[in-house]
Chains A and B, each alone.
Chain A
Amino acid sequence: DSGVTQTPKHLITATGQRVTLRCSPRSGDLSVYWYQQSLDQGLQFLIQYYNGEERAKGNILERFSAQQFPDLHSELNLSSLELGDSALYFCASSPRGRSEQYFGPGTRLTVT
């Protein structure tokens, strides 16, 4: 158990819908990262937050957005969902000043 929690574990929704994935980092970690894992693209970095501020962006679609709240939990919002958005979405956190990232168990999103 990494100490990073993600909810829900599974999510099934229809095309065109909007969903919110939630992540709580390890106690004391200020950085939160979101990754997408799909069969065709592999593991891809989406976005990073540090203490509420966006720090870095990767291959994140404009239909996707994220935020980190004052209690440090983070949410990833996916809208106008397409079949191709079906994937595992991981959240990770890291201690201040450290490079290693600790991953949560992931949310499996299925878009039908």
Chain B
Amino acid sequence: AQSVTQLDSQVPVFEEAPVELRCNYSSSVSVYLFWYVQYPNQGLQLLLKYLSGSTLVKGINGFEAEFNKSQTSFHLRKPSVHISDTAEYFCAAMTTDSWGKLQFGAGTQVVVTP
């Protein structure tokens, strides 16, 4: 069975500082990995995805993530955050034998303060 663990439930960060959100997964088969963002009272928006190939993935709004197979991690980073990045971030995985079933982590709430 697969699982997705987000190691931090809340991450406070100052405006223009860097942020890293940690995500670990477990799976016995190949996985596709995703990061989604949920702004207050909105649906989920896809930030980026990793399917194969280069382990460094660039997404929207200046976010990037690195896939590390040996550490089974897919951490999300942004070098300089804005107030508007305040939101909840979800890491998700889909295995090649469960196409379509996204397994989500518990989410990380990012609070950006001036």
A56 within 8 A of B: yes
B interface list, Cβ under 8 A from A: 32, 34, 36, 42-46, 49, 51, 90, 92, 94, 98-107
In whole angstroms, what is the CA distance A104 to B42 when docked?
Answer: 8
Tell me how many residue pairs across A and B have CB atoms closer than 8 Å. Answer: 54
Q: Which residues of B contact A56 (CB under 8 A)?
A: 98-101
**Are B34 and A55 closer than 8 Å at their CB atoms?**
no
In addition to A31-B100, A99-B49, A101-B102, 10 A-B residue pairs with Cβ atoms within 8 Å of each other are A2-B43, A33-B102, A43-B90, A43-B92, A48-B101, A99-B51, A99-B99, A101-B100, A103-B44, A106-B43
Distance in Å: Cβ of A45 to nearest Cβ of chain B: 5
**Residue of A45, A48, A56 with most chain B CB atoms under a 10 A cut-off:** A45
Q: How far is the CB of B106 from chain A (nearest CB, A)?
A: 5
Q: How many residues of A contact B (CB 8 A)?
A: 24
Summarize A's interface: helix, strand, loop or mixed.
strand
Closest partner residue, chain B, to A55 (CB atom): B100
Q: In the complex, how many angstroms separate the beta carbon of B20 from the nearest chain A beta carbon?
A: 21
Q: Which of A4, A43, A106 has the most CB of B within 10 A?
A: A43
Q: Contacting B107 at CB < 8 Å: which of A42, A55, A102? A: A42
Q: Which residues of B contact A84 (CB under 8 A)?
A: none
Question: B94 — which chain A residues lie within 8 A by C-beta?
Answer: 99
Could you jot down 13 A-B contacts, CB within 8 Å? A2-B43, A4-B43, A33-B100, A42-B104, A43-B90, A90-B44, A99-B32, A99-B34, A99-B49, A99-B51, A100-B34, A101-B102, A106-B42
